[in-house]
Amino acid sequence: MLLDCDTGIDDAVTLLYLASLVKAGEAELVGVGTVHGNVDPATGALNTLRIFEMTGIENVPVAVGAGRPMAQDVHFAHDWHGTDGLGETHLPVPAATPDGISAPEQIVRLAKAHPGELTLVAIGPLTNLGIALLLEPELPELLREVVIMGGAFDHPGNITAHAEANIWHDPEAADLVFAADWPIVLVPLDATHPTAVGDEWLNRLAQGESDVARFAVRILEFYVNAYTATMKRRGCIIHDALAAMIAVDPSLGRYEERPVRVELRGELTRGATMWDARSLPAEDARRTVKVVVGSDVTSFQERLLATLL
Enzyme catalytic residues: 239
Binding mask 235-264 for Ca ion (x = CB under 5 A): -----x------------------------
Dihedral sign for Cα atoms in the order 35, 5, 163, 187: positive
**Residues 51-90 close enough to bind ligand BDR by CB under 6 A:** 77, 80
User: 165 is in the binding site of which of ligand BDR, Ca ion, none (Cβ under 5 to 8 A by kind)?
Assistant: ligand BDR
Instruction: Decide if residue 123 touches Ca ion (CB under 5 A).
Output: yes
**CB of 139 or CB of 149, closer to ligand BDR:** 149
Minimum distance between the CB of residue 232 and Ca ion, rounded to whole angstroms?
Answer: 24
Across the chain, where does the E strand assignment appear? 2-5, 31-34, 62-64, 118-122, 143-149, 184-187, 197-198, 235-236, 253-258, 260-262, 273-275, 289-295
**CB of 55 or CB of 166, closer to ligand BDR:** 166
Instruction: Decide if residue 87 touches Ca ion (CB under 5 A).
Output: no
Report the C-alpha gap between 139 and 131 in whole angstroms.
Answer: 11
User: 242 is in the binding site of which of ligand BDR, Ca ion, none (Cβ under 5 to 8 A by kind)?
Assistant: none
On whether the CB atoms of residues 250 and 124 are closer than 8 A, the answer is no
On whether the CB atoms of residues 271 and 152 are closer than 8 A, the answer is no
Instruction: Decide if residue 11 touches Ca ion (CB under 5 A).
Output: yes
**CB of 1 or CB of 142, closer to ligand BDR:** 1
A 10 A CB-CB count for 118 gives: 21
Instruction: Decide if residue 239 touches ligand BDR (CB under 6 A).
Output: yes
Minimum distance between the CB of residue 137 and ligand BDR, rounded to whole angstroms?
Answer: 27
**CB of 164 or CB of 190, closer to ligand BDR:** 164
Report the C-alpha gap between 190 and 203 in whole angstroms.
Answer: 25
Which are the contacts of 49, defined by CB distance < 8 A and separation ≥ 6?
62, 94, 96, 97, 98
Identify the three-state secondary structure at position 245: helix
Binding mask 141-180 for ligand BDR (x = CB under 6 A): --------x--------x-----xxx--------------
Minimum distance between the CB of residue 7 and ligand BDR, rounded to whole angstroms?
Answer: 8
Instruction: Decide if residue 82 touches Ca ion (CB under 5 A).
Output: no
Instruction: Decide if residue 48 touches ligand BDR (CB under 6 A).
Output: no
User: 190 is in the binding site of which of Ca ion, ligand BDR, none (Cβ under 5 to 8 A by kind)?
Assistant: none
On whether the CB atoms of residues 261 and 274 are closer than 8 A, the answer is yes
Our CA angle for 243, 157, 264, nearest 5°, is 95
Instruction: Decide if residue 123 touches ligand BDR (CB under 6 A).
Output: yes
Report the C-alpha gap between 24 and 225 in whole angstroms.
Answer: 32
On whether the CB atoms of residues 80 and 38 are closer than 8 A, the answer is yes
**Residues 193-232 close enough to bind ligand BDR by CB under 6 A:** none
Instruction: Decide if residue 38 touches ligand BDR (CB under 6 A).
Output: yes
* DSSP run (H or E) holding 13: helix 9-23
Residues making contact with ligand BDR (CB under 6 A): 8, 10-11, 38, 77, 80, 123-124, 149, 158, 164-166, 239-240
